[in-house]
Structure 1
Amino acid sequence: MPTSAIAQPRLVTQSLTKSMFNSPGLSLALQTNIDGQGDVTRMAENFESNVGRRSREEEHDSRSGSDNMDGASGDDQDAADKPPRKKRYHRHTPQQIQELEALFKECPHPDEKQRLELSKRLCLETRQVKFWFQNRRTQMKTQLERHENSLLRQENDKLRAENMSIRDAMRNPICSNCGGPAIIGEISLEEQHLRIENARLKDELERVCALAGKFLGRPISSLASSIAPPLPSSTLELGVGTNAFGNLSSVSTTMPLGPDFGGGLSGSLPVVSSPATNRQTTALVDRSMERSMYLELALAAMDELVKMAQTDEPLWMRSLEGSGREILNHEEYMRTFTPCIGMKPNGFVSEASRETGVVIINSLALVETLMEWHRWAEMFPCVIARTSTIDVISSGMGGTRNGALQLMHAELQVLSPLVPVREVNFLRFCKQHAEGVWAVVDVSIDTIRETSSGAPTFLNCRRLPSGCVVQDMPNGYSKVTWVEHAEYDESQVHQLYRPLLSSGMGFGAQRWVATLQRQCECLAILMSSTVPSRDHTAAITAGGRRSMLKLAQRMTDNFCAGVCASTVHKWNKLNAGNVDEDVRVMTRKSVDDPGEPPGIVLSAATSVWLPVSPQRLFDFLRDERLRSEWDILSNGGPMQEMAHIAKGQDHGNCVSLLRASAMNSNQSSMLILQETCIDAAGSLVVYAPVDIPAMHVVMNGGDSAYVALLPSGFAIVPDGPGSRGPTASNGGGNNTTASTNGGDGPHRVGGSLLTVAFQILVNSLPTAKLTVESVETVNNLISCTVQKIKAALQCES
């Protein structure tokens, strides 16, 4: 028998699923058996005609939401106990309609105060405004129902056509072994297998319905009871259950196979299941079970996130060191919550943090940003090395992100070669809890997706329920409560950074909130029509300002990818004997990217501890007047700031264009593009030499994608609380600052962790070989830069 014979119940399931969630009236029209398909179509058409007729009446009453009938609503006109009266229309002016439509887009349900203010401004009665919004909402609902009904009717026609082909196949059954006509007595074993499968699928149906009921907040019963009862003739019951979250439903239907096959045999003939069909059915059931587990995990994670965001003591305790940060009470956590992804793996340690902040973005815009992987990466450029959406299980309900569930992959980073990139596969689930209150939760799926050996696919980190709860505030702001909870393999982290990570400051909530606040402030400034007073861009057009900011963003992204060796670029790590122990050197070939010079690119990065505050270190490195104290590109002379574009309230958040003055006439001047940013979690100074003619094109609004640059720079973070200073020294390079045992040295007070990274083109020919001299040169460059910074800040010892 063809594969489509088994696929038909699945399609019926999908059709009934959509009708159950999207159009309750239509779901009644579809509750019939296969022989009653003509009735299904007629009922669907009657439903459509009724909706269309009601829509036209409401449209006539509301005059497309632009007129009012004596201030009366459409509901009042339908009252049977009122005598008909003459209708008097008040046509709104185009200005009134425009104002009403503008408010409707922002708030379809205005309160009494908003309606009163609008009526005064538009010279309308408050009841006219009230009924206009009622009619407009009715019109929108009608249009949505009409569109959904049209889609379901098309799907129903498709199912009817496929059903006819299945009937034809049933009249001429084929034996799966010999290919000849099937004999009834020989396929009883196949029927038995299908009955066993049917019982298993019914169990799955009940589980899916229970999950759907929990998700929707109301009980969802099996559709089996609402399907037409089986006919008197012998039938083969096929139960098919699917769970695609957005299509949560199942159907158990009976398939009469009834034509008379002659020989005195009348009644039904069992379906013959081929091996290919069995494999497809098994794959479908496996996928259904996997998605139902995804849903169950997402619901549990959402519940845990909301409780962790809203509960204070004894779950969260204030730090005793006076920093104000919160510490998770793990004993209370274990008493309160059941681990939704299993127990902590051996060798892993926990980190947990919570942070609350006010952000210049509303809840809907933030939710959209978090649910779109590319916008999420752009909002957190220094935190996210790479991300992608693997599977969209549900895009949400009612045209919103409420109920959206997707499977994602991400690489998270701390800008240091001493901290490995965290690679995680996780579910992201979004839910609206109240008007203007949303929550987005992430949770790893390692316990669901297993390898062929049956072991979980653990990476170097797994995320316990983490995410944010967002609540709208006046004037377009929102209050964000962020929770980060993870378990990771600490043995892969250098001793220098273990205190930072264990305190939650490396990958924790403070860094996410601080980055979000800085990026939203930057977007607000860039979208404003007024140019900040700190900007001095006399030679740059408005288009050039945008092109320059875009170029700076690409430069910073490239810098971060080079520091952490993420999979954005294909880096090859070098193990050269002439390189300092704590300097990581990598190479890659740049061939096809127009934004980079072609050839072999060499990247070198190291991290050191300095006994100076992060603010002092940041101010020193970004000051163009002090640049000659550490930068060999300055040629020992002063730097001049030619352009300054502000990206935040803090003067340190900006993009600058610097010019190095030549010491003598034989040296040519050069330009340096620099971006600096600072927030509560750390700071960044990234720069790259740029070609003067190319920058002139950018400053006039030209395309910045063809400007070739290789960035270098610094990443600064505060050292973690309770961390220890260096205890050993081998006297070579910069190892004196990186050699620690994390336990016996003196306390570090107000210190900084500084990452220094360079990307250099060592050969313009992609086919060239990397020489030992090139590696030694970049190693000496990075060591010399660190020593100059120490000398300038008087912290050499």
Structure 2
Amino acid sequence: MDFGDDVMDGGSDAQRRKKRYHRHTPRQIQQLEAMFKECPHPDENQRMQLSRELGLEPRQIKFWFQNRRTQMKAQHERQDNCFLRAENDKIRCENIAMREALRSVICPTCGGPPVADDYFDEQKLRMENARLKEELDRVSSLTSKYLGRPITQLPPAQAALSMSSLDLSVGGLGSPSLDLDLLSGGSSGYPPFHLPMSVSEMERPMMAEMATRAMDELIRMAQAGEHLWVKAGGREVLNVDTYDSVFAKPGAASFRGPDVHVEGSRDSGLVFMSAVGLVDMFMDSSKWTEFFPAIVSKARTVDVLVNGMAGRSESLVLMYEELHVMSPVVPTREFCFLRYCRQIERGLWAIADISVDLQQHDARFGAPPSRSCRLPSGCLIADMADGSSKVTWVEHMEIEDRVPIHLLYRDLILSGAALGAHRWLAALQRACERCACLVPAGMPHRDIAVAGVTPEGKRSMMKLSQRMVSSFCASLSASQLHRWTTLSGPSDVGVRVTVHRSTDPGQPSGVVLSAATSIWLPVPCDRVFAFVRDEHRRSQWDVLSHGNPVQEVSRIPNGSHPGNCISLLRGLNASQNSMLILQESCTDGTGSLVVYAPIDIPAANVVMSGEDPSAIPLLPSGFTILPDGRPGAPSSSSAGGPLVGSPAAAGSLVTVAFQILVSSLPSSRLNAESVATVNSLISTTVEQIKAALNCASH
């Protein structure tokens, strides 16, 4: 199927219906766009000149400009409507705030309610809100119809009033006050991110054309040789100058700006899953998040533009995602992008991604549009004879750094390793190995025998652990709607906290306090991973174990690496006999995770018997371990390893995170004692890890 501009030539209605779409070439579109920026209404002479230069009929030129002006007008109207909705939300919040304030008004003379209190009853407030909404809709209609676009030139809307019930003064923590918002997702005062609910009919041909060009470019990049890709630190990195020349982007570097850097990488490897299974995962936003919890903090399908054969070949969807590095000091990257699936030939598939412009997102903050975008990226997937697939992954982004990158993560981010192709592919291989463990013939059986554990019990335990890991990874997001407040504790490790009200059936109900800190250790990643997952050494860092040992009572392998497993741990002292610890550890060449959560014995029995574990509440804590990305530093130690602190020693970026149920009452307030407790807990844990790894002075 061809996508493009519909060329309306003369003739009967039947001829018009049979007329196929005409697809303009990229060069034609580029010159038409350039002319549109200079003159949106070209006269007849200008259209004739363009016709001769581009080899198009004057009527095609005329209709292209008409369609382009219509698209631009629709875009402007959407921006106006977005602003007006934000204004409406602001008025509604102010109205609610006034109502709450008036409920607590008292007469200074008698201490009773004011005489005119009946004036502010709920029914009258509803009527006032309805009147305001009608007025706002009327102004919106007049603006878009008669007055052009003056409303978007008004000052940007202020942040909505924070209706937090949490006001806390923390003494002795280095901060005079700590304001934490318990509204959805964290302490941000920004209104929610309003994504478009669907794509208009006028935009669909343009987006389809964009996706088609992205697919062609992806295939060329995936199959290109050494002229486009160079080896750097054992990885294939994009040669940006060659890319600009090969893909006809002269002077592209001059438009990027000093605060924009390019991340381009490629990697390939075998994945233990069929090509069709991988395609289904890519096209489903829920599975996409489930497979990559350590990279994708949030994703959803905005609109299905084309539903191809069985939802696969020739499918085109508009998706939104947030990518993170699982540290409170690294902001998430947000993209709205097109994902296009095509079956190139039997057993060979391609998935192409390309960003679409969402200027309304930046207008929410009164900031200029971000130049961060996902350039043509994706992967080629080839079926292999043994049921596995060969995946060639290409990542290509232009990232605008609006805020300075935290010193700890600067090398990792600027090298492109944080979200590079090798990290995506390693995470995919690990996730597919985990899925294969659910199949009896998939992986070697190395379970430690436990009485009464059935295959159904194993599946239930893996399902519960997967939910635990996904919840832990999501809790470390540093998005605009999940913001962290920094404390300064006695060890000055920079503890960051955030709170939310939990109503999820998979979490304890009430107020949950999340706290985390990120540190650098002059120790290789594999050594840190082996230390924190070793049950025999857990008492050296686990403050809550009070120095008592723990015992592994069950283990389920979920990968080829011996460190990839799910364990049930039991404390050996009498006070811990009623609780177990569910722990999952996983590692690959790009990083490691150790996540754990306490569960009681009745819940463990439910899991072991194979029942549905979705109602078991979990509050996970744990560690993320990433290489520091320093040039020339190996990612793992050899036998004995380099001396700690030497220039050649590989370093690790370790994030320590805890979640604590402050109160089981959703309406309760957080107190200073809870914050001080979790601050001390993380500080002590960090100090003990450093001491155990002989790097306390760093």
TM-score (norm 2): 0.67
Change (3 A) 1:419 1:576: closer
Task: Give the letter aligned to residue 473 of structure 2.
Answer: C
2:23 maps to 210
CA distance in 1, matches of 2:371, 2:399: 6
In the TM superposition, residue 530 of structure 1 has moved relative to its aligned partner by: 7.5
Q: Match for 1:756 among 656, 659, 679? A: 656
2:313 maps to 402
1:3 maps to none
1:324 maps to 234
Question: Alignment partner of 1:483: what SS?
Answer: strand
Deviations along 1:402-440, one digit per CA (max 9) or x if unpaired, are 221111100111111121111110011112222221111
1:617 maps to 528
Residues 134-283 of structure 1 mapped to structure 2, 5 A cutoff: 208-210=21-23
Question: Alignment partner of 1:210: what SS?
Answer: coil
CA distance in 2, matches of 1:530, 1:373: 26
* 1:541 is aligned to 2:454: yes
1:526 maps to 438
1:489 maps to 400
CA distance in 2, matches of 1:460, 1:777: 42
CA distance in 1, matches of 2:251, 2:391: 25
In the TM superposition, residue 669 of structure 1 has moved relative to its aligned partner by: 4.5
Task: Give the letter aligned to residue 639 of structure 1.
Answer: V
* 1:675 is aligned to 2:584: yes
CA distance in 1, matches of 2:302, 2:251: 20
Q: Considering only aligned residues, what root-mean-square deviation do their CA atoms show, in Å?
A: 3.8
2:685 maps to 785
Q: Match for 1:608 among 504, 519, 522? A: 519
CA distance in 2, matches of 1:513, 1:401: 21
Question: Alignment partner of 2:504: what SS?
Answer: coil
TM-score (norm 1): 0.59
In the TM superposition, residue 721 of structure 1 has moved relative to its aligned partner by: 3.3
Change (3 A) 1:504 1:433: same
Task: Give the letter aligned to residue 381 of structure 2.
Answer: V
Task: Give the letter aligned to residue 263 of structure 2.
Answer: E
Q: Match for 1:709 among 618, 624, 632? A: 618
Between Structure 1 and Structure 2, which shows a larger proportion of helix residues? 1
Task: Give the letter aligned to residue 751 of structure 1.
Answer: G
Deviations along 1:581-603, one digit per CA (max 9) or x if unpaired, are 6321111112x322222221111
Change (3 A) 1:537 1:482: same
2:162 maps to none
Task: Give the letter aligned to residue 302 of structure 1.
Answer: M
CA distance in 1, matches of 2:363, 2:427: 39
CA distance in 2, matches of 1:437, 1:609: 42
2:477 maps to 564
Question: Alignment partner of 2:619: what SS?
Answer: coil
Change (3 A) 1:213 1:465: closer
Decide whether the 8 Å contact of 1:716 with 1:753 is kept in 2.
yes
In the TM superposition, residue 690 of structure 1 has moved relative to its aligned partner by: 1.0
* 1:376 is aligned to 2:315: no
CA distance in 1, matches of 2:236, 2:527: 26
Change (3 A) 1:451 1:761: closer
* 1:637 is aligned to 2:637: no
CA distance in 2, matches of 1:401, 1:435: 13
* 1:294 is aligned to 2:210: no
Question: Alignment partner of 2:438: what SS?
Answer: helix
Decide whether the 8 Å contact of 1:469 with 1:482 is kept in 2.
yes
1:385 maps to 297
* 1:335 is aligned to 2:233: no
Change (3 A) 1:696 1:638: same
1:510 maps to 422
In the TM superposition, residue 359 of structure 1 has moved relative to its aligned partner by: 0.9
Q: Match for 2:601 among 692, 703, 718? A: 692
* 1:465 is aligned to 2:376: yes
Question: Alignment partner of 2:670: what SS?
Answer: coil
1:309 maps to 222
In the TM superposition, residue 522 of structure 1 has moved relative to its aligned partner by: 1.6
In the TM superposition, residue 763 of structure 1 has moved relative to its aligned partner by: 2.1
Question: Alignment partner of 1:594: what SS?
Answer: coil
Change (3 A) 1:426 1:746: farther
Question: Alignment partner of 2:566: what SS?
Answer: strand
Change (3 A) 1:339 1:416: farther
CA distance in 2, matches of 1:678, 1:211: 48
Change (3 A) 1:526 1:668: closer
Question: Alignment partner of 1:209: what SS?
Answer: coil
In the TM superposition, residue 297 of structure 1 has moved relative to its aligned partner by: 1.3
Change (3 A) 1:293 1:698: same
Change (3 A) 1:507 1:635: same
Change (3 A) 1:242 1:614: farther
2:674 maps to 774
Decide whether the 8 Å contact of 1:341 with 1:445 is kept in 2.
no
Deviations along 1:338-379, one digit per CA (max 9) or x if unpaired, are 459984366221111110101112222211211111122222
Deviations along 1:154-195, one digit per CA (max 9) or x if unpaired, are xxxxxxxxxxxxxxxxxxxxxxxxxxxxxxxxxxxxxxxxxx
Change (3 A) 1:602 1:750: same
Decide whether the 8 Å contact of 2:487 with 2:494 is kept in 1.
no
Change (3 A) 1:657 1:459: farther
CA distance in 1, matches of 2:560, 2:310: 36
* 1:588 is aligned to 2:521: no
Fraction of identical pairs, as percent: 47
Task: Give the letter aligned to residue 595 of structure 2.
Answer: V
* 1:422 is aligned to 2:322: no
1:173 maps to none
Change (3 A) 1:300 1:792: same
In the TM superposition, residue 529 of structure 1 has moved relative to its aligned partner by: 5.0
How many residue pairs were aligned? 513
In the TM superposition, residue 301 of structure 1 has moved relative to its aligned partner by: 1.2
In the TM superposition, residue 498 of structure 1 has moved relative to its aligned partner by: 1.7
Task: Give the letter aligned to residue 330 of structure 1.
Answer: V
1:722 maps to 631
1:499 maps to 411
Decide whether the 8 Å contact of 1:357 with 1:481 is kept in 2.
yes
CA distance in 2, matches of 1:212, 1:313: 28
CA distance in 1, matches of 2:361, 2:214: 20
CA distance in 1, matches of 2:432, 2:676: 42
Change (3 A) 1:795 1:439: same
In the TM superposition, residue 685 of structure 1 has moved relative to its aligned partner by: 0.2
Task: Give the letter aligned to residue 287 of structure 2.
Answer: R
In the TM superposition, residue 461 of structure 1 has moved relative to its aligned partner by: 3.4
CA distance in 2, matches of 1:721, 1:585: 28
Deviations along 1:34-85, one digit per CA (max 9) or x if unpaired, are 9x9xxxxxxxxxxxxxxxxxxxxxxxxxxxxxxxxxxxxxxxxxxxxxxxxx
Task: Give the letter aligned to residue 524 of structure 1.
Answer: A
Decide whether the 8 Å contact of 2:450 with 2:553 is kept in 1.
no
CA distance in 2, matches of 1:675, 1:666: 23
In the TM superposition, residue 211 of structure 1 has moved relative to its aligned partner by: 5.6
Decide whether the 8 Å contact of 2:371 with 2:400 is kept in 1.
yes
Change (3 A) 1:714 1:578: closer
Deviations along 1:222-280, one digit per CA (max 9) or x if unpaired, are xxxxxxxxxxxxxxxxx99999xxxxxxxxxxxxxxxxxxxxxxxxxxxxxxx99x99x
Task: Give the letter aligned to residue 764 of structure 1.
Answer: S
CA distance in 2, matches of 1:538, 1:554: 22
Question: Alignment partner of 1:652: what SS?
Answer: coil
